[in-house]
Amino acid sequence: MDEKIAIIYGTRPEFLKIFPVYNQFRKQDKKVILVNTGQHDDLLSKMERDFQVTPDFRLSVQSLEFTNSNLVAKLIHEISNLVNQENIQKIIAQGDTFTVFASSVVAFLEKRKFYHIEAGLRTTDIHLPFPEEYNRRAVSLASDVNFAPTVLSQNNLLKEGIPKEKIILTGNTIIDMIHIILEKENMTIEYLEKVFITAHRRENIGKPLQYIAIAIKNLAEENPEIIFDWALHPNPNTRKIILDILGEEKPKNIHFTEPLSYIQTIEKMAKSRLIISDSGGIQEEAPSLRKRVLILREETERPEVLQCNCGVLVGSDISKIKSEFYKIWNNPKEYEFQAEKNPFGDGKSSEKLIEKILE
C-alpha cells in the first residue's frame, strides 16, 4: 500500500510555490492530499479558484484575537489531528511561515517524513525578517530532505551541519510557476512608463514605511509622465501609514490598487520598467521577467538577486531610493535587464522534487 503524502500550505506565497509540485503529482497521476490551514484565508481562497484547485482539507486556524503563539499552538493541534486521523506518512511544505514551522514540528514529533521546499534561505539576524528567519532555521533541523533552491542556500545548510545527503539542489518552484503563467496567459514582456510597487513587511511598518511613501511621492511629483502602480496590502496598519503620508494630496500618477491576483501581479510586473518592493517572492520572480528591483530592505536572504545585478538594496532611505531609481530609469541598459543565467532555476524544479519524494 502506498504511503499517504500531504502538501500543507496556509498562505498565498506558499500556494504559488507548491502549485507546480501539486500539478506535477497530477501529471504523473499520483494521489496527494492537499491541506489548506487557512492562515491567510480570503486571499488564498481566491487564488485556489483562479487555478481550479480544491483542497482536501481546510483547517480554519486563524483568529483576529490570536497572538503568534496562539496561532502556532492551533496549527500544531489541527495538523497533528489530521496527520493521525488520515495516517499521513510524508509531509511536504514550503517556505518559512508558521504553517511550515508547525508542520515540521508535527512531522518530527509524530515521526513522519518531512520535505522542506525552499530550504536554506538565511539572513545574518534571527530577528530579520521576523518571525520567518527563526522559522526557516528551526524547520531545517526537522527536515528529512531539504530542497535548496540555489547553491548559496545549499551552502548555508552545509555550514549549519545539515548532512549533505539530506540536501538536494532543485532551483525554485516559483520559476516553474512563472513559466506556467507566461504560457497560459500568452504574456509578453515590455518596458512601459510604469513602476510597480508593493510594501508590506513587518520590519517596514512604522517610520520606514513613512519614508518609503515620501520617496514615492517625491518621484511621482518629479515625473508626472510615469505611472506608479502601488498594490496595497490588506494589512490595515500598512495602509494607514501609506494613506496618512499620501492622503488627499496624492499625485494623480500614483494609482492604488486593491490586492491583485497572482496573474494580475505578474502582468503588472511584465509591463513595468522597474519594480520597487520589499517582497521576497518578487525578488525571485523578477529575473524571469527581466526586470530590476529596488529592494526596500536593509538585508536580503536572497543574495543571488544582488549577485546577478537584478536587485539593489535601498532600505527605506529616501535619497537612496531616489538616486537608484534615476540611475536605472534613465538607462535602457540598466532596466532592460537579462541575467546570463537565472540564479533561481530553469523551471524544472518540481520534476526534481517529485522524483525524490516518490523514492
- pLDDT tens, position by position, 24-35: 999 999 999 999
Q: Does the pLDDT of residue 235 top 90, yes or no?
A: no
What's the confidence (pLDDT) of residue 38? 87
How many angstroms separate the CA atoms of 34 and 49, rounded? 14
Q: Which three cell numbers stand for residue 201?
A: 513587511
How many angstroms separate the CA atoms of 351 and 330, rounded? 40
* Cell 484565508 -> residue: 41
In whole numbers, what is the pLDDT of the chain averaged over residues? 93
The sign of the dihedral angle between the CA atoms of 241, 244, 245, 247 is positive
The answer for residues whose C-beta is within 8 angstroms of residue 135's C-beta and 6 or more apart is 96, 97, 98, 100, 101
**Helical residues (DSSP H) of 87-172, grouped into ranges:** 98-109, 132-142, 151-159
Mean predicted confidence (pLDDT) in 221-240:
93
Comparing 26 with 338, the larger pLDDT belongs to 26
Q: What is the pTM of this model?
A: 0.84
How many angstroms separate the CA atoms of 165 and 144, rounded? 9
CA distance between the termini of the chain: 14
Read out DSSP for 296-354? Answer: -SS--S-THHHHTTSEEE-TT-HHHHHHHHHHHHT-HHHHS---SS-TT--S-HHHHHH
The mean-pLDDT minimum among 40-54, 176-190, 192-206 falls in 40-54
